[in-house]
C-alpha cells in the first residue's frame, strides 16, 4: 500500500469527512455512484483516478474529503451489529496484553458480530488463525458475513457451537472469552490453553466478574490475574478553547486477564 501513488478506483472504499463538521463521516464504496447527504448529493465517480485525500463538493457546494478508511473505521462503521462490540479502547488493550502477533493460533468464544474476531485476525495475519465459537445461529451467520466483508475468511475458522463439549484443535497461544458464564468452562479453557499462555475475558457486571475471579483463584491454575476497565476522553480540537468534549466514552466493559500455570 502506497499512500503517495495509489489512486481511488471504482472498487475503492472511502471515508467521506465533512470539512465543516469533521464528526460527520461516511464509510461508502465508490461503486455506489451517488451519495446523498443533508447538504446535497455527491457524484462519487468524480473521485476515480484521484488521490486519497482529494476534496469533493456536493451539488449544493458542501465540501468533503475522501480519505482512505483505517481498520478502525471499518470496525466502527463497516460491519452490521446485533450485539454490542468490544470497543477499540478495550480491544486494543486486550490485543496488546495477549501479545497478538503474526502466526499465532488464538481461540475465541462468543463471536457475536465478529468485530473482536476480526481485530484478533488482523493482529495474527497473514500466517495466524483464529478459531471462534458462536452458539447463536443468527450471530454465527452475521459474524461470518462481517468477517468475510473485512477480508479475514482465510484467517478465521468459525463454528456454530458452545463450550460444553470442550475446545478442539488445542493447544492455543492465547484466548479471548466473551460469554455470560465463563466460570462454567474453566476446566475446558485450562486444558486447551498453552502453558504460560495469556487469556482475556470481558464481562458486563461486577457480580459476574466476582464469580469468575473466584473460579480462577480456586482452580490454582492461573496467575497474574487482573481486572481493568478503560476510560477514553476526547478533547475539542480548538487551540484557543481546548477543553474536554461534553460526552465521554467511559465504562464499556470489565476486562479480566490471567495466565495459565501448571499447579
Return the percentage of the chain with pLDDT > 70, whole number.
98
Return the percentage of the chain with pLDDT > 90, whole number.
95
Tell me: pLDDT of 83 over 90: no
Q: Which residues contact 115 (CB under 8 A, 6 or more apart)?
A: 75, 79, 81, 85, 86, 91, 146
pLDDT of residue 88: 95
Predicted TM-score (pTM) of the model is 0.93
State the average pLDDT over residues 15-34.
96
Instruction: Tell me the sheet residues that pair with 17.
Output: 25, 65
**146-198 pLDDT, tens digit each:** 999 999 999 999 999 999 989 999 999 999 999 999 999 999 999 999 999 99
Tell me the domains of the chain and their CATH numbers: 13-69 (3.10.330.20), 73-260 (3.40.50.150)
Tell me: pLDDT of 84 over 90: no
pLDDT of residue 60: 96
pLDDT of residue 166: 95
Beta strands, E only, the chain: 13-18, 25-29, 34-37, 40-43, 54-57, 63-67, 105-109, 129-133, 156-159, 174-177, 198-203, 222-228, 235-236, 243-244, 254-260
Q: How many residues does the chain have?
A: 263
Side-chain-facing half-sphere of 54: CA atoms under 13 Å: 18
Tell me the pairing of strands 13-18 and 63-67: antiparallel
What long-range pairs does 240-245 form, CB within 8 A, spacing at least 24?
A: none
- Rounded CA separation 107/160 (Å): 14
pLDDT of residue 2: 64
pLDDT of residue 42: 97
Amino acid at each position: 500500500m502506497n499512500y503517495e501513488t495509489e489512486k481511488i478506483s471504482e472498487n475503492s472504499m472511502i471515508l467521506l469527512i465533512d470539512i465543516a463538521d469533521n464528526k460527520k463521516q461516511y464509510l461508502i464504496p465508490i461503486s455506489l455512484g451517488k451519495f446523498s447527504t443533508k447538504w446535497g448529493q455527491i457524484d462519487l465517480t468524480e473521485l476515480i483516478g484521484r488521490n486519497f485525500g482529494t476534496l469533493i463538493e456536493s451539488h449544493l457546494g458542501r465540501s468533503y474529503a475522501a480519505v482512505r478508511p483505517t481498520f478502525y473505521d471499518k470496525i466502527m462503521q463497516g460491519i452490521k451489529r446485533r450485539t454490542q462490540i468490544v470497543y477499540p479502547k478495550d480491544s486494543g488493550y486486550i490485543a496488546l496484553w495477549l501479545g497478538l502477533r503474526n502466526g499465532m493460533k488464538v481461540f475465541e468464544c462468543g463471536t457475536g458480530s465478529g468485530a473482536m474476531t476480526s481485530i484478533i485476525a488482523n493482529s495474527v495475519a497473514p500466517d495466524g488463525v483464529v478459531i471462534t465459537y458462536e452458539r447463536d445461529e443468527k450471530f454465527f451467520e452475521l459474524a461470518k458475513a462481517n468477517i468475510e466483508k473485512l477480508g479475514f475468511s482465510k484467517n478465521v475458522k468459525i463454528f456454530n457451537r458452545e463450550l460444553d463439549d470442550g475446545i478442539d484443535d488445542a493447544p492455543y497461544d492465547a484466548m479471548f472469552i466473551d460469554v455470560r458464564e465463563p466460570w462454567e468452562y474453566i476446566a475446558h479453557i485450562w486444558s486447551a490453553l498453552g502453558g504460560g499462555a495469556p487469556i482475556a475475558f470481558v464481562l458486563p457486571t461486577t457480580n459476574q466478574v466476582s464469580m469468575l475471579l473466584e473460579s480462577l483463584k480456586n482452580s490454582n491454575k492461573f496467575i497474574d490475574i487482573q481486572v481493568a476497565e478503560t476510560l477514553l476522553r476526547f478533547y475539542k480540537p480548538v487551540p484557543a478553547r481546548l477543553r474536554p468534549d461534553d460526552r465521554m466514552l467511559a465504562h464499556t466493559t470489565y476486562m479480566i486477564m490471567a495466565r495459565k500455570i501448571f499447579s
